[in-house]
């Protein structure tokens, strides 16, 4: 991953975490509801991984927003 990609994934992860916390959902419950691993969600929120599109779709659905809204800067 190059520096530009790292920054993008960190911003995306921070956004996911912020939206999840605004809904007062803990990480473990949210991961379970989205049918993804808790460790995977942790890595996404920390910007340490490149999430697959299907995973982002599950997260957006769990947050009850569109994928476009999730990816918004």
Is residue 67 predicted with pLDDT exceeding 80?
A: yes
Q: Mean pLDDT, the chain, as a whole number?
A: 96
Which domains does the chain carry? 3-71 (1.10.260.40)
Quote the CA–CA distance of 19 and 13 in Å, as a whole number. Answer: 10
Q: Which residues contact 3 (CB under 8 A, 6 or more apart)?
A: none
- Determine the average pLDDT of the residues in 31-52: 97
Residue 53: how many other CB atoms lie within 10 Å: 8
pTM reported for the whole predicted model:
0.93
pLDDT in the model for residue 72: 87
Identify the helix (H) or strand (E) that includes residue 3: helix 3-22
pLDDT band for position 28 (cuts 50, 70, 90)? very high
Is residue 14 predicted with pLDDT exceeding 90?
A: yes
């Amino acid at each position: 991953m190059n520096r530009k990609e790292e920054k993008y994934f960190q911003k995306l992860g921070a956004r996911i975490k912020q939206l999840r916390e605004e809904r007062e959902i803990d990480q473990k419950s949210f991961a379970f509801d989205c049918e993804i691993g808790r460790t995977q969600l942790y890595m996404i929120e920390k910007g340490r991984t490149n999430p697959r599109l299907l995973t982002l779709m599950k997260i957006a659905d769990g947050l009850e927003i569109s994928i476009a809204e999730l990816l918004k800067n």
